[in-house]
Amino acid sequence: MDILGTTLRICVEDLEVSVPFYERLAGGTALRFDRGGVSVAAVGCFLLMSGPEEELEVLRRVAATIAVRDVDEAHDVLSSSGARILAGPIPTPAGRNLIAMHPDGSVFEYVDRRPGA
């Protein structure tokens, strides 16, 4: 499985206030989308999330987002290595993802950039 990078997940109270800081820090413009009741802004290696506390509470359990070349391959490697797949693979606005709990109890999101695959 090829790991291409990691995104830091940050829950913020006010996305509109937080985005300009991270855009300047990362030197880019945020890609914005909604996922359920959560507003999301992806900028550089940061994934900012804002929404109802009950939804953010669940999102905070995911330590980081790991970009991979192929989520299906990640699924196979994770499953055969003792991880438990909690959700997915499912399509997202940017590709596909899955959520996995590693044998040590840590939870990660794995994503690829294969829209519609």
Q: Which domains does the chain have, with CATH numbers?
A: 3-112 (3.10.180.10)
Segment 54-91, tens digit of pLDDT: 989 888 999 999 999 999 999 999 999 999 999 989 98
Tell me: cis bond preceding 91? Omega within 30 of 0 counts.
no
Q: What is the pLDDT of residue 117?
A: 47
What gap in Å lies between CA 46 and CA 111, rounded to an integer? 14
Residue 45 has pLDDT above 70, yes or no: yes
pLDDT confidence of residue 36: 81
Q: Is the pTM of the predicted complex or chain greater than 0.85?
A: no
The single-letter DSSP state of residue 98 is E
Q: How many residues does the chain have?
A: 117
Which is nearest to 44 in space by CA: 69, 18, 24?
A: 24
